[in-house]
Amino acid sequence: MGKRYFGTDGIRGRVGSAPITPEFMLKLGWAVGMAFKHHGGCRVLIGKDTRISGYMFESALEAGLSAAGAHVQLLGPMPTPAIAYLTRTFMADAGIVISASHNPFYDNGIKFFSSGGSKLPDSLELEIERLVDAPMTVVDSAALGKVTRVEDAPGRYIEFCKSSVPTSTSFKGINLVLDCAHGATYKVAPSVFRELGAAVRVIGAEPDGLNINAKVGSTDMAALRESVLASGAGMGVAFDGDGDRVLMVDHEGKEVDGDELLYIMAVDLHQRGLLNGGVVGTLMSNLGLELALKNLGIPFVRAKVGDRYVMAELRERNWLLGGESSGHLVCLNHTSTGDGIIAALQVIKALQRSGQTLSQACEGMRKCPQRLINVRYAPGAVSPVDDPTVQAAVAETEARMGEAGRVLLRLSGTEPLVRVMVEGQDAALVEQEAQRLAEVVAQVFAD
């Protein structure tokens, strides 16, 4: 049975367009409360990022949950992984995050965590969808859920992040720039790194509800690059709007993506005998990562794109480390979900152990030229991925690239985009074929 509302990462869309409306959020809150009451639960945490619509949707969800008899604890603006952690530590039945992650401010969405801090199973998402379409009821007044605010949530999460590195850790002498994307990390991330002793310059930490991810953060690294070069910092760290992704730049302003950060962490764990298996990437992971890990004798497998698929593969194999080139990195030896701050801490600690700079640590991985082009389509339009013309163009590209190349077309799970990816040894050929294939896909939409 297919899902009507849930995508690969919760429910997401444009504010004011179904289902991202106050009416739907009211009903969704009620449905979640009813679903968890059926499973014996009745306490839910709610956190959010800094986009302006978060206030509106927080109130609607709060009302719906209370109507179902579920008690609510409000966390305020907090990174998505913080809600996962606090859901576990407060022994709540569920955690809700109001966020559209790396999307612009005019989008918003809802993510859910189970009591264990992981994504909800498909069966529970289907039950919630069924209840959303059922008539809404209200419990007796004496049984309405109560709402409280958790005042010490930031401090709890800061200490949790710091606990992911040894207690003897000191980042004294490390000079870095943090780009908080005007998002959910704007308060906690600077505190984490400063309390560990680093000299920290912060940009993208003045949210106004409208500027989240706007020319800052992991989706636009130009401001971070300029700040690192201007300040002479040793590196820069960029989070996305909800703090579950991280990318970096080295002292020369060169971008270091999620594949390279994954490589640095894998090498560190492998050398210390703590990797416990291999590494999970995705269909979008650079071939260079796979080859570099193979040279070290580290197993590597690809999951479908999306952190839930990476997580499922890790749990199936009982491995610890996985992630995506976008910077969504999972360190299961420290936390239950992708966490940008914790991943950044692990990378910097690995650099300390090795005595290498960020650029030096990346030298063991030679990235293959890869070109990704996003082709936007109207929501609700038929996907062109299975179109015969597109399939023929893909076959032509694969023939031109040969055995040393890869071609991938996939629909985004969070936006109305077709992602066209071409990878190979010849950079000029990769660019040429990616542009040609993207034009074919765009033409199918035009037709």
With helix as H, strand as E and coil as C, how does 161-172 read? HHCCCCCCCCCC
Helices (H) and strands (E) in the chain, counts: 14, 18
Contact 336, 117 (CB under 8 A): yes
pLDDT value for 384: 73
Query: Is 174-255 the same fold as 11-151?
Result: yes
Residue 202 sits at φ, ψ, to 5 deg, of -120, 135
pLDDT value for 411: 83
Length of the chain: 447
Task: Tell me if residue 101 is catalytic.
Answer: yes
What lies within 8 Å, CB to CB, of 3 at 6+ separation is 122, 125, 126, 129
pLDDT value for 445: 72
CA count, 13 A, side-chain hemisphere, 389: 13
**Taking Cα atoms as reference points, which of 61, 51, 68 lies closest to residue 25?**
61
Reported pTM: 0.90
Q: Where are the domains of the chain?
A: 11-151, 174-255, 257-367, 370-446
**Assigned fold of 370-446:** TATA-Binding Protein (3.30.310)
Return the CATH architecture of domain 11-151.
Answer: 3-Layer(aba) Sandwich (3.40)
Pairing of strands 11-14, 107-114: antiparallel
Task: Dump pLDDT digits (tens) for 193-231.
Answer: 999 999 999 999 999 999 999 999 999 999 999 999 999
Annotated binding-site ranges: 101, 240, 242, 244
Annotated binding-site ranges for Mg(2+): 101, 240, 242, 244
**Candidate list 53, 66, 101, 164, residue with the active-site label:** 101
pLDDT value for 329: 97
Which amino acid is located at 144 in the chain? L
Which ranges of the chain have pLDDT less than 50?
none
- Roughly what angle, to the nearest 10 degrees, separates helices 22-38 and 122-132? 120
pLDDT value for 379: 66
CA distance 187 to 164: 19
Residue appearing with tokens 């360190």: 331
- Domain 257-367: give its CATH code: 3.40.120.10
Return the CATH architecture of domain 174-255.
Answer: 3-Layer(aba) Sandwich (3.40)
Residue 270 sits at φ, ψ, to 5 deg, of -65, -45
End-to-end CA distance of the chain: 31
Task: Dump pLDDT digits (tens) for 284-300.
Answer: 899 899 999 999 999 99
